[in-house]
Amino acid sequence: MVIIKTENEIDLMKESGAITASVFEVLEKKIRPGISTKDIDDLVYEHISSQGGTPSFLHYGEPPFPASACVSINEEVVHGIPAANRILKNGDIVSVDVGTFFQGFHSDACRTFLCGEVAEEVQKLVRVTEESFWKAVEKAVIGNRIGDISYAVQEHCEKHGFGVVRELSGHGIGRNLHEDPEILNYGRPGTGMRLAEGMVICIEPMITLGSPRISLLDDEWTIVTRDGKAASHYENTVAITRNGPIILTCTGKSTI
């Protein structure tokens, strides 16, 4: 069941989203070769806590996720578990997926960071993944359908020769971290649920350099590409309003 948010509830979600957005400003200054994924997770926990929020991911799910952020390196698509012995190297990319619970509402976003000198084809992957989000959010307007969002991601990424992961998706969000509806990154325009005022969704392209096929590691959380090639992830929490989509987790650019 899709839970429609009131204007007041969306205002509260903006406050949660602002905390999540500000995490990435902190990380942008800190992510360098030599930092561990545990260091990144510590920064996320400390910043969210300092703003009065609670990390949405900490102890979430089954088995309980053991960290405040999903920190995924190179071929890790999503849900990488931070560790002190996982050290970023020159040429790596790292996706940091973050959620904040504040005043009764969650927000959720992800960015993929370049670490040092990254191969041109991987830089392009990261750039195109983010571009596909902006293509998709243009379709996040009242009266359009979820398939319009999904197709926008797929068309842009596949046009550039990249793989679109099928098994993972975006989602609704609000008082619960994951709500209906499911927002796939592939599909057909004009299909699926019609978008309505007050829906709040997470659009999150998860795109691969090679095959889109994935595997789950033995830790029961980390998802990797089967061919070992890099993956990129970009996500924001988006409110559907009568004035168009409002991006709740993006500093400096809240509307399209």
pLDDT tens readout for residues 125-154: 999 999 999 999 999 999 999 999 999 999
Residue 256 lies in a domain: no
- The answer to whether 140 and 116 have CB atoms below 8 angstroms apart is no
Residue 253 lies in a domain: no
Looking at the DSSP assignment, which residues form a beta bridge with residue 174? none
Residue 252 lies in a domain: no
Residue 39 lies in a domain: yes
Query: What is the Cα–Cα distance from 101 to 104, expressed in whole angstroms?
Result: 7
Query: Whole domain around residue 112: which residue ranges?
Result: 7-247
160 phi, psi to nearest 5 deg: -95, 5
Residue 1 lies in a domain: no
Residues in the chain where the model's pLDDT stays below 70: 252-256
Structural domain count of the chain: 1
Structure tokens of 225? 């590409």
Query: What is the Cα–Cα distance from 123 to 127, expressed in whole angstroms?
Result: 6
Structure tokens of 230? 């890099």
Residue 239 lies in a domain: yes
CA 254 to chain centre: 16
- Residue 49 belongs to a domain with what CATH number? 3.90.230.10
Q: What's the pTM?
A: 0.96
